[in-house]
Amino acid sequence: MSISAKLVKELRDKTTAGMMDCKKALTQTNGDLEKAVDYLRKKGIQSASSKFGRKASNGLIASYIHLNGKVGVLLEINCETDFVAKTPEFNELAKNITLQIAASNPKYIKREEVPEEVVSKEKEVYYGQAENLNKPQKVLDNIVEGKLNKYFKEICLLEQEYIREPEKTVNQLVLEAIAKLKENIIVKRFARFKLGE
């Protein structure tokens, strides 16, 4: 079943859950809006989304050095209270994200951080690749949009497939932790070091 962008937006407006979570919920429930709301609630995603506006000024700096000492990661991850920052679940989340960064080498945390000139350059390249297809402009725009979304999934940490469970994104991993720990959690910044780079 094809899920329309309008339906995804309607569910998102209703629940404040992420676009991909809304689309998955609607796919799982064959486009039934009410069942999709229940699906998100069961997964804890709606309640997690409601915590986004809350201030997260505690947390920790997590680090990971790959066994051979050739790759290292520093990560600042924030939560609302010092209590949650000390929980095994929060520390496990931080560790898993540092492993993700070491393995997948993202450049940004989320797509909003990607500089406009980088996005424009990528679009230019994709339009160049698509112009020989002799398709209407609307189709070309859709092709470019699809390639751009794929690009964001490669370079943006929160949009990457989680290396231990590829059926979920890193953002979903964070949302699950928010739902479980009942606090807002923000991946603030990271640095990845590779020997010789």
Domains and CATH numbers, the chain: 5-49 (1.10.8.10), 58-109+156-194 (3.30.479.20), 115-155 (1.10.286.20)
- The pLDDT of residue 50: 55
Record the pTM: 0.71
Q: What is the pLDDT of residues 94-114, one digit of tens each?
A: 999 999 999 999 999 999 999
- The residues, ordered by sequence, that sit 6+ positions from 149 with a Cβ below 8 Å of its Cβ are none
Find out whether 183 and 81 touch, Cβ atoms under 8 Å.
Answer: yes
**CA-wise closest residue to 79 among 43, 120, 51:** 51
Q: Which residues of the chain have pLDDT under 50?
A: none
Residue of 27, 146, 66 lying closest to 8 (CA atoms): 27
Q: How many other C-beta atoms are found inside a 10 Å radius of the C-beta of residue 139?
A: 12
pLDDT computed for residue 14 by the predictor: 67
Token reading at 33: 């809006």
Position 51 scores a pLDDT of: 55
Closest CA to 115 of 155, 165, 61: 155
- pLDDT confidence of residue 95: 97
CA angle, 168 then 160 then 140, to 5°: 110
